[in-house]
Structures are given as C-alpha cells and as structure tokens.
C-alpha cells in the first residue's frame, strides 16, 4: 500500500513529531511510506496537487486546532479527485467528538483516537489483509452507511518501545526539532487536554542522553522538548541537565516547559552553571487568583515559583518565558490585572498573555455552562466572554497584550519601558493599558508599523503624556535602539551629538591593544577597519547606563557627555542584547 503521512504545520521552521513517530513505527511492515510537510500558509491548490501526484492509497493527516479547517477542506477536495483513497485522521483535534465530526464530513473514512502508534499500525494491517477492523482499538469508522466506534482503550504506548523519530538527512534544515522525553502530565489542569489522560510515561534517561547527543552531533539550532512538565521527575531532570552541561556544543539550545515551583536548590546550582543561551524555560503561571487555580484544578505555589524565577533571572543566562491565560473562571478584569502585575514584577524576558481556548475534551469545555462561557464555535475555540469578563473587557486586554508583545516581548525597548513604568505609572498593567489607548486612539492598530516607527510612537506617547524631560527619555530610547540595531545612520527623531574628529578617534581607540584587551578581547589581532564593521560608537548627552540601572534618576540627572561602545558580534549576545560599554577616550591621547 502507498501510505502518505501529511502534516500542515503552523510555521516553516516547525517539524511534526507525530508523523515521524508513525512512519518509524510502521515502516518495517510497510515499504511504501512517505511523509509530506506543508504549512498552513501554503495555497490549498498546491497541497492538493502534491498529494494528487503521489496518488496514495492511504492518506493520513495529523490534526490540530491550527490546521483542522484546512485539513477538512483538503479532504473534501481529495475525495473528488482521488475517490478511492482512504483518508485517516488523527491528533488531538479529532480525538474528541469524533462521531459528530464524521457525520458532518463524509470524506473522512477513519479517525484514530489518542496516542495512535499502536492502533494506527493495527488499522493498516487490517486494511491490507481485508480483516476485521472492528477488533482494532481506538478507531472510529464507517460501515454499511453508519458510523461506529471501536473499543476505547486509549492505553499509554510504552515510550521505551517507540523508535527514535528522526533521521540524519532531515536535521540539516534550519528548523526547530521537537522532542519528547515523557508523555502525560502529573497535573490535571481543566483547560488542558493532558488532563484527559492519567499518569506520566518516561523514556529511559540513558536513551534520552543518546538521542540528545545525536542532535548535538548534527549541530541543530534548537531542540524543543514537548514534555508537558519537563521537571516533574526531579531525578531525571537533573541527570539530563547535567548531561547537557557536560556535553553541549555551543550551538544547540534546549527549550523546556517547566513548573518553576518544583525547582529546588540543587537544580538551581546546575542552572547557575549553564552557558548563556543553552537553556530556555517556558513557565505557565496562568493566574495568581487562588479561586481561579482551585476551579481549574491547578496546583501552583506562587511564592516558590516567584523565588525560583527571581533566582534564575539573577544568573542572566536563561531566557524565561512566563504565561498567563485570560478568561479563566473567577478571574474578572481586575483580578487579571493583579495576576498580570504579580507576574510582570518578575521581569521575564517574555510574558505571553494568552486567551483561553475551550478545547474539545477539556474539563472547562465540558463544564462550560457552569461558568457562562461563550466562545468561538470554530477552531481555536477562543473565549469571547464568561460570567466574570465581558467581551468588551477581553477586547481591551487584547490591546494591552499587543502592547506587551510589541514593546516588551520584542526585547527592543526594555530600558525605555523601565524608565516609564518606574517614574510615571502605578503598575505595569496600567502602563500597557494606557499605551494601548494611545495606540488605538492614533489608529496605529489599523496599519503595519515598522521597527523605526515603533520607536517614534513610543517617543510621541511620552510627549503626549506630558511627562517632561523628553530629551532625557529620547537618549534612553536611543540606547535601546542601538543595543539592538547596528547602523551608521539614526532615525531623524534621534539626536546625534557631534564630536570633533570623532571617526578618527574611534579608529585610534580600536588600534590600541590595551583597549581591546579591556573591552573587546575577541577582536585581538584584528585590524581596526574590520572591527569597526561589528561595533559602533555613540555619544550621549546623559549617563544613560546610570539611568538604565536606576530609572528614578530621570528627574534629577544632569547633562554628562557619555560615549558608549556597542559590540554586535553574535557570539557575544546575552539574552538578545548586544554588549555595550561606557568608554573614556583619554586612553587615545
């Protein structure tokens, strides 16, 4: 049988782990198995044509909230041009309410429910042998004009029995490699599909080490663990982290979803030793409202979480991404404001404000009436309102979220935002809310805004708010701009302070070995004309580094000519910033 495993990924850089597992699971029994990966940005006509050219006997799609509508449209058209092709769907988006889905879409022949590796292989064998498919567990199918569901086993597949899903030739691409060292989650959060399965299934740690070694030998850019709570098993976690610390290659980084309140002192000592950028953490907070956490059955000790995140931040070597969810039970607008301020106070590199998705099979969807949920009937089933928050309030929070994404998560405005918040706003939520109202009032939400325009908008906002000392703020904003932009020309709204014979002085500075040893040791023995391509000198009228450390100096700081040297060499970057130094040209005389 010609079997085609197909994925429609959200982005080009993503890889689909599910179809790789399926291919490795069945290829010893079926010789003609091919994988095809597209993105949801491809034209459907292109995808349809590529599938048609292969004329599969069995066509399989991996289904998620971001691709299900496109998958269903494709399946309908495939049946028109390849009527004999058997279409099998699997994945989280089709593992619930399956019979209704098949009633609405007669192009679907089979749905595999749950993890899939075992039942998928059994189904293919039954189809090949024309044997009884009703004995295959965890499938929904058509027979004699009716829809039937087989026995629901939904048993965990032993991870130890699963094959390694990757092969050499596909790792050369500049894509994120998704990897799992465990399946399942020890927690029972009612918004999450992991709550529909009990228990956690782990790969043996020695096998994990071997497979991570393979990724590092291939020098892949990023390995993203899809484990729901990577550090649920502390012993395994510490052993894997220690292995990565001992064997990292300086190229590959590792992304984990962790429960920060489970991070103990021993793990903190390991993390403290990590090279900059080796590890990235995604930490779900979701809410700090105790009633909300009880309602969603989420057990989080925020005090422990806060202590761990703060300690890790002090190491300045690990990117931390913290999550909140808008629309949870008992969380009204003002409660969410408190949750936001509680989390933003930790100053994560990114704060993702997500909006609740009422996923099929999740506890909150099943009990939606208890909380008055109204949500979009189409994927991704995002909340519109509930008993605690109106749609109008959610619209306002979407605006504030856009400002967080644009001005904080981008990492381009950190010093400027700290100066604004520390001097003029009672809390971080009020700042982003106020910025959104200005943004919306100016109509910026109706248009695309380039990077330079974003700096100009923030400057205009500062002036419009009437804060005073705009010339100082403009210098801090220029610092943010140059931390993230290697340029020989500044946008016109910035002031460039001219110094006599400045260009020659900069070259002379770079020609002195003592200066290179102190500030730029990576460039020793390189000619100044080469170094100048990777660095930048800029004159400021205020000590902007002092303002960056202590934003409250804004109202009292006096003019003081300051020269900064920015180093843009990629290897020097720490958490997305260039290196920069306050230098004295006295050394050139």
Residues 414-466: pLDDT tens digits? Answer: 999 999 999 999 999 999 999 999 999 999 999 999 999 999 999 999 999 99
Q: What is the per-residue pLDDT for 455?
A: 98
With contact defined as beta carbons under 8 Å apart, do 332 and 389 qualify? yes
The DSSP code for 354 is: E
Segments in 451-542 forming alpha helices (H): 451-464, 470-484, 502-511, 513-519, 528-531
Could you give the angle at the alpha carbon of 487 between the alpha carbons of 482 and 489, nearest 5°? 105
Q: Residue 483: which of 578, 564, 410, 552 has the closest Cα?
A: 578
Q: Is the model more confident about 351 or about 500?
A: 351
Residues 164-222: pLDDT tens digits? Answer: 999 876 776 678 999 999 999 999 999 999 877 778 999 999 999 999 999 999 999 99
Q: What is the per-residue pLDDT for 298?
A: 95
Enumerate long-range contacts of 21-29, CB under 8 Å, 24 or more apart. 21/117, 21/162, 21/163, 21/165, 22/60, 22/116, 22/117, 22/120, 23/165, 24/162, 24/163, 24/164, 24/165, 25/117, 25/120, 25/121, 25/162, 25/163, 26/120, 26/121, 26/124, 29/121, 29/124, 29/125
Task: Please state, for a pLDDT cut of 90, what percent of the chain lies above it.
Answer: 88
Domain boundaries of the chain, sorted by first residue: 3-149, 159-389, 490-588
Q: What is the per-residue pLDDT for 575?
A: 59
Q: What is the per-residue pLDDT for 170?
A: 72
CATH hierarchy code of domain 3-149: 3.40.50.280
Distance, in Å, from the CA atom of 507 to the CA atom of 529, rounded to the nearest integer, reads 7
Q: Mean pLDDT, to the nearest integer, of 378-382?
A: 97
Distance, in Å, from the CA atom of 412 to the CA atom of 576, rounded to the nearest integer, reads 9
| Residue 229 pLDDT > 60 | yes
C-alpha of 344 from chain center: 17
Q: What is the per-residue pLDDT for 216?
A: 95
Q: What is the per-residue pLDDT for 572?
A: 43
**Burial class (CB within 10 angstroms; exposed 0-12, middle 13-18, buried 19+) of 311:** middle
Least confident of 60-64, 255-259, 576-580: 576-580
Task: Please state, for a pLDDT cut of 70, what percent of the chain lies above it.
Answer: 97
Residues 270-323: pLDDT tens digits? Answer: 999 999 999 999 999 999 999 999 999 999 999 999 999 999 999 999 999 999
| Residue 129 pLDDT > 60 | yes
With contact defined as beta carbons under 8 Å apart, do 325 and 382 qualify? no
Distance, in Å, from the CA atom of 342 to the CA atom of 303, rounded to the nearest integer, reads 11
- As a whole number, the mean pLDDT across the chain is 94
Pairing of strands 139-143, 146-149: antiparallel
Distance, in Å, from the CA atom of 563 to the CA atom of 252, rounded to the nearest integer, reads 35
Distance, in Å, from the CA atom of 531 to the CA atom of 443, rounded to the nearest integer, reads 43
- DSSP for 28-55? TT-S-EEEEEEETTS-HHHHHHHHHHH-
The reply to whether 159-389 shares the fold of 3-149 is: no
Please give the sequence-ordered ranges of beta strands (E in DSSP) within 191-263, or none if there are none. Answer: 200-202, 222-225, 253-258
With contact defined as beta carbons under 8 Å apart, do 431 and 421 qualify? yes
Please give the sequence-ordered ranges of beta strands (E in DSSP) within 219-327, or none if there are none. Answer: 222-225, 253-258, 279-286, 319-326
Q: Can the peptide bond before residue 335 be classed as cis, meaning omega within 30 degrees of 0?
A: no
| Residue 265 pLDDT > 60 | yes
| Residue 111 pLDDT > 50 | yes
H-run or E-run covering 245: helix 234-247
The 3-class secondary structure across 382-450, one letter per residue, is EEEECCCCCHHHHHHHHHHHHHHHHHHHCCCCHHHHHHHHHHHCCCHHHHHHHHHHHHHHCCHHHCCCC
Q: Mean pLDDT, to the nearest integer, of 54-69?
A: 98
Q: What is the per-residue pLDDT for 587?
A: 47
* Number of C-beta neighbours around residue 487 at 10 A: 12
CATH topology of domain 159-389: pyruvate-formate lyase- activating enzyme (3.80.30)
Q: Of the spans 13-17, 148-152, 428-432, 493-497, which averages the highest pLDDT? A: 428-432
Q: What is the per-residue pLDDT for 564?
A: 96
- For residues 273-301, one letter each, b for 16 or more C-beta atoms within 10 angstroms of the residue's C-beta and e for the rest, the string is ebebbbbbbbbbbbbbbeebbebbebebe
Q: How confident is the model at residue 570 (pLDDT cuts 50, 70, 90)?
A: low
| Residue 391 pLDDT > 50 | yes
Q: How confident is the model at residue 18 (pLDDT cuts 50, 70, 90)?
A: very high
Residues shown for the chain? 589
Could you give the angle at the alpha carbon of 62 between the alpha carbons of 279 and 280, nearest 5°? 5
């Amino acid at each position: 049988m010609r079997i085609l495993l197909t994925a429609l990924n959200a982005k080009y850089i993503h890889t689909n782990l599910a179809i790789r597992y399926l291919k490795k699971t069945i290829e010893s029994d079926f010789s003609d198995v091919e994988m095809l990966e597209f993105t949801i940005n491809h034209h459907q006509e292109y995808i349809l044509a590529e599938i048609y050219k292969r004329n599969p006997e069995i066509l399989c799609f991996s289904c998620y909230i971001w691709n299900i509508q496109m998958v269903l449209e494709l399946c309908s058209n495939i049946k028109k041009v390849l009527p004999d092709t058997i279409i099998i769907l699997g994945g989280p988006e089709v593992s619930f309410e399956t019979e209704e889905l098949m009633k609405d879409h007669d192009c679907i022949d089979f749905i595999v429910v749950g993890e899939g590796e075992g039942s998928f292989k059994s189904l293919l064998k039954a189809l090949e042998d024309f044997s009884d498919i009703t004995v295959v567990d965890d499938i929904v199918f058509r027979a004699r004009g009716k829809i039937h569901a087989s026995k629901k086993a939904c048993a965990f597949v032993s991870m130890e029995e699963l094959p390694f899903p990757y092969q050499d030739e596909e790792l050369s691409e500049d894509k994120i490699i998704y990897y799992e060292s465990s399946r399942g989650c020890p927690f029972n959060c009612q918004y999450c599909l992991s709550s529909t399965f009990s228990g956690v299934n782990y790969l043996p740690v020695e096998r994990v080490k071997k497979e991570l070694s393979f990724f590092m030998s291939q020098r892949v850019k990023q390995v993203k663990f899809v484990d729901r709570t990577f550090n649920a098993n502390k012993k395994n976690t510490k052993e894997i982290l220690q292995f990565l610390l001992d064997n990292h290659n300086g190229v590959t980084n590792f992304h984990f979803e962790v429960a920060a309140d489970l991070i103990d002192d021993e793990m903190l000592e390991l993390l403290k030793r990590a090279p900059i950028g080796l590890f990235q953490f995604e930490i779900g907070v979701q809410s700090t409202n105790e009633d909300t956490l009880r309602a969603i059955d989420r057990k989080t000790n925020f005090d422990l979480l806060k202590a761990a995140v703060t300690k890790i931040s002090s190491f300045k070597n690990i990117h931390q991404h913290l999550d909140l969810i808008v629309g949870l039970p008992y969380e009204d607008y003002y409660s969410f404001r408190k949750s936001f301020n509680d989390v933003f106070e930790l100053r994560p590199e990114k704060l993702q404000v997500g909006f609740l998705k009422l996923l099929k099979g999740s506890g909150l969807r099943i009990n939606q009436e208890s909380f008055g949920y109204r949500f979009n009937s189409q994927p991704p089933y995002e909340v519109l309102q509930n008993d605690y928050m109106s749609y109008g309030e959610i619209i306002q929070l979407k605006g504030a979220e856009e400002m967080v994404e644009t001005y904080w998560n981008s990492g381009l405005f950190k010093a400027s935002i700290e100066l604004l918040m520390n001097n003029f706003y009672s809390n971080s939520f009020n700042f982003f809310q106020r910025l959104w109202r200005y943004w919306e009032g100016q109509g910026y939400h109706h248009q695309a805004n380039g990077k330079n325009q974003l700096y100009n908008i923030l400057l205009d906002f500062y002036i419009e708010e009437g804060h005073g000392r705009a010339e100082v703020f403009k210098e801090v904003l220029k610092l943010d701009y140059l931390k993230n932009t290697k340029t020989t020309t500044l946008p016109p709204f910035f002031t460039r302070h001219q110094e006599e014979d400045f260009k020659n002085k900069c070259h002379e500075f770079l020609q002195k070995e003592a200066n290179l040893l102190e500030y730029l040791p990576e460039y020793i023995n390189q000619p100044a004309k080469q170094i100048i391509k990777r660095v930048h000198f800029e004159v400021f009228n205020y000590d902007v580094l002092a303002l960056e450390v202590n934003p409250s100096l804004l109202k009292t700081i006096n003019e003081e000519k300051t020269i900064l040297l920015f180093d843009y060499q990629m290897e020097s970057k720490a958490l997305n910033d260039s290196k920069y130094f306050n230098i004295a040209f006295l050394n050139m005389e």
